[in-house]
Structure 1
Amino acid sequence: MKHTFDSDILKECDIRGVVDRNLGDQDAYFVGRGFGTMLRLKNKKNCLVGRDGRLSSKRLAESTISGLIDAGIDVVDGGLIPTPAVYFGVNALKIQAGLMITASHNPPEYNGFKFLTDEGSFHGEDIVNLGSICREGVFAVGEGLCSQRNIIPEYMDYLLKFLDTRLLKNLKVVWDPGNGAAGIILSSLLEKIPGDHILICGEVDGRFPNHHPDPSLPENTIMLSRKVLEEKADLGIALDGDGDRMAAVDGKGRLLYGDQLLVLFSRDYLRRFPGATVMSEVKASRFFYDEIFAMGGSPLMWKVGHTNQKAKMKEEAIGLAGETSGHFFFQENYGFDDGLFAAIKLLNFLNGEEDSLNEIVDSFPVYHDSGEIRVSLTSEERHRVIEELKSQLRSVGRDHTDIDGIRVSTEEGFWMLRSSNTQPHLTIRCEALTKSGLEETMNELRDLLSVAGVKKDDLW
């Protein structure tokens, strides 16, 4: 038995594709068989499998479980759960590995697989090796067992341990899990959190009928912002399709980007651990890096991607990290990203502050930001364009950071672009202190991209 995956679905951080176009049931079986083989080589014998609420997730999970069993792995089937519940199961329940069937924030037609072991993240070369094992057909053989386990009650109890109930502002909060997998737990969890809580888009529905399940984009938090204003709530909290990311809007309906929320988490963290390192990524605002430095901390810039952040966090013994997309990593949570855990930490922070979230956001310096711009290109074109831009910058002696794509500082801010780990586009962000500075920054990048052969019609 041999199997070759479509090369486009093997990503840096996970496996992800369009169902029944370049990702199907047979692929799912060999994902399980290949991952199970790699686990056997590491003397690991069991694996927790979860799935999100996408319409294809149940059948892909069944095929994946069959592959794991045929590799001799005992499967603990967690059913429909958010991704962080799989992370919890591996770390708190001493299960040796985890595999989640999800495409996170991608559109409904996508699906995929996230992996981990009790030794840490599984990404990069691991995914390359999984593909090689399947292509060569060198599989472990066995007869694993499969058992069902409902880990949601244990996961919910774990989350509630971190809720500080001594600080009660009686916050009014609107919650939007975006019809994603976090909806399976959220209504029960909110019953146990003090305050006034309103739930929208709470039914798990893999069609995502209300809005796209990516809360880092303003257009996907319009419903949440409107409900916050309608209810005169203190804030709103949004989660992505598989529940590992969190975003927030304040009482005025303004979306906070992940780097802004990370500043809030850092205020509490650096009070407890003065001088500590706080990590983010190449898309993060200058505001984040300036604020961490001003608070006496040590800001660190690293690669985008939850597995890249987790690996660096472990390597450097970093206690707090986060991304603009809303992945937040707390060492006290085993270093894993969990939207519900981050939401509880945000509630704790706001309960302990004299100022409201509105007042805190009002105090932020004003930066003019392009938001996240996406330019659709094939993987080959993305690589070529980035290398061409690097060559242009080197030829004129322009300083730049290339740890993940390109980031260039300007007089008033920065521009950056990188190849998305999960979707077929270049991700771009520009920022400056003034509107005119932002326009200059964006014009510079447009010109560079045009020289690199990107058609003007494909630009913003």
Structure 2
Amino acid sequence: MVEAVSRNSFKAYDIRGKVPLELNSTVAYRLGRAYTELFQAKKVAVGRDVRHSSPELVKALTEGLLDGGCDVIDIGLCGTEQIYFATFHWQLDGGIMITASHNPQGYNGMKLVRANARPISGDSGLRELEERVVTSAFAEPVGAHRGNVQVCEVMPDYVQHLLSYVDIAAMRPLKVVVNAGNGCAGPVIDALERYLPFSFVKIHHEPDGEFPNGIPNPLLPENRDATAQAVRKHGADVGIAWDGDFDRCFLFDENGDFIEGYYLVGFLAQAFLGRFPGAKIVHDPRLTLNTIEITRQLGGVPVQSKTGHAFIKERMRLEDAIYGGEMSAHHYFRDFAYCDSGMIPWLLVLDIMSREGKTLSELVQERIDRYPCSGEINRRVSSPQVVLESVEKAYAPGGQIDRTDGISVEYANWRFNLRMSNTEPLIRLNVETRGDRKLLQRKTEELLVIIDGFA
């Protein structure tokens, strides 16, 4: 009889759950067997984040892959993008990262890719993996066909790839606050440091699965103070903070002010269109006005995609887009196998700051004033679908409707996007205007009155 395994850890884009109730060694082992069987994988990269449960899960996952006849390239403690890099750089059949990123203590998870770092998510293999993990009776492993483990160091090649995006000789000796949040970003900063002229002020730098300074998720306003205060205290030119597996980075200007990820999408689009005129730029539908205007002004082609890494990556491949960005601080690069990176964006920003001789606030403030936004507002509601329908009924008249992801309604001077969370009974609201902060406040409050009526 097949041992019962919880389905609760299988989400829309990856695997995440409480350890050991939803995610444990049994699930990890069976995932290794199912992955090898479904994708006929012969060589796969495996890595892990700093959480205390990660080594045990890596061990079980590795055993499952080996018993399925797959060789394992173990790159140890790393960030998710280093698994992406190892997979496409070494031309492997896939990669699996053990990480819970910014989830609370007690959680862990897995992010999975196939050859060329193509994502495995709900509509590209994850549901099939789930079914096999839960129901399959795997054949007994045959010793002669068992895989082997090879421990490999990906850092040197990975660092050189990161540096290929910038002109080191043109960089100025900037003072940079870096906050790894006791996640996995610290070792990468240490490896990059010898090549860069920057003076780094390192806070919460050492990887520590206890997360003594809180779970690293700078998208939450309450988690930004440490970086902002360090920028002000040290008179730094810029601050950078990462989440646990550093696939997202968050920037602070020289005043310690947080820069919304939305404005960095337009900023990086501008950087790439300067190098690749006429290129396509993929963006999500939550906040769009600034990105679309910049892209079109510079002769590029803006392409809208449904929110989420799997959708963005698929659309970028389809369009051969040079760059893609989400307001949630995920940035994707064609030369990084269309994957997201939390290291490439800040290197590009500091490269531009150096070449133009401007502060970060000088580079982005005009765009912030031109298209002020609410930032993402989350509300817990009893029936997200009913909320969407009620808002659409109230605001559709006179507006231009788009249903790429949730509902977007655009008027002459403002627009909003309202969408449901994929994993929680939450509704997510984003509002932006054409340079009118009073209108932004008024419309945001109007929408929240309707939304909060369903709490």
Give me the TM-score of the superposition, normalised by structure 1. Answer: 0.89
For 1:123 and 1:204, the matched residues in 2 are separated by 28
Report matched runs for 1:7-406 at 5 Å: 7-40=7-40, 44-119=41-116, 120-125=118-123, 126-137=125-136, 139=138, 142=141, 143-366=146-369, 367-376=371-380, 381-382=383-384, 384-385=385-386, 388-389=389-390, 392=393, 399-406=400-407
C-alpha displacement of 1:257: 1.9
Q: Check whether the contact 1:305–1:421 (CA below 8 A) recurs between aligned residues.
A: no
Does 2:451 match 1:449?
A: yes
Structure 2: distance between partners of 1:141 and 1:72: 11
- TM-score normalised to structure 2 length: 0.90
Question: Match for 1:437 among 417, 426, 439?
Answer: 439
CA contact (8 A) 1:56 1:111 kept: yes
Decide whether the 8 Å contact of 2:173 with 2:197 is kept in 1.
yes
Structure 2 gaps, min length 5: none
Distance apart, 1:415 and its partner CA: 2.2
* Contact 1:278/1:298 (8 A) holds in 2: yes
Segment drifting more, 215-224 vs 46-55: 215-224
Deviation at 1:100, TM superposition (A): 0.3
Tell me which moved more, 402-411 or 257-266: 402-411
Does the 8 Å contact 1:107/1:213 carry over to 2? no
- Measure, in 2, the Cα distance between the counterparts of 1:238 and 1:288: 23
Q: Using a 3 Å threshold, how does the CA distance of structure 1 residues 249 and 450 change in structure 2: closer, same or farther? A: closer
Q: Deviations over 1:47-104 (max 9, x none)?
A: 1100011121111111211222222211111111111111111111122110001122
Preserved contact between residue 388 and residue 419 of structure 2 (Cα < 8 Å): no
Once residues 31 and 220 of structure 1 are traced to their aligned partners in structure 2, the CA distance between those partners, rounded to angstroms, is: 34
Q: Which runs of no fewer than 5 residues in structure 1 stay unpaired?
A: 456-460
Change (3 A) 1:253 1:297: same
1:458 match: none
Matches of 1:365 and 1:346, distance apart in 2: 16
Over the aligned positions, Cα root-mean-square deviation in angstroms equals: 2.5
Give the Cα separation in 2 of the matches to 1:109 and 1:412. 45
Q: CA deviation at 1:444?
A: 3.6
Query: What is the SS of the residue equivalent to 2:112?
Result: strand
Query: For residue 415 of structure 1, what is the aligned residue in structure 2?
Result: 416
- Change beyond 3 A, Cα 1:437–1:50: same
Q: Using the alignment, how far apart are the partners of 1:94 and 1:141 within structure 2? A: 29
Structure 2 CA distance, aligned partners of 1:21 and 1:417?
A: 33
1: CA distance between counterparts of 2:373 and 2:237? 25
Q: How many angstroms apart in 1 are the aligned matches of 2:222 and 2:138?
A: 45
Q: CA deviation at 1:450?
A: 5.3
Secondary structure of 1:255 counterpart? coil
Kindly provide the amino acid, as one letter, of the partner of residue 379 in structure 2: V
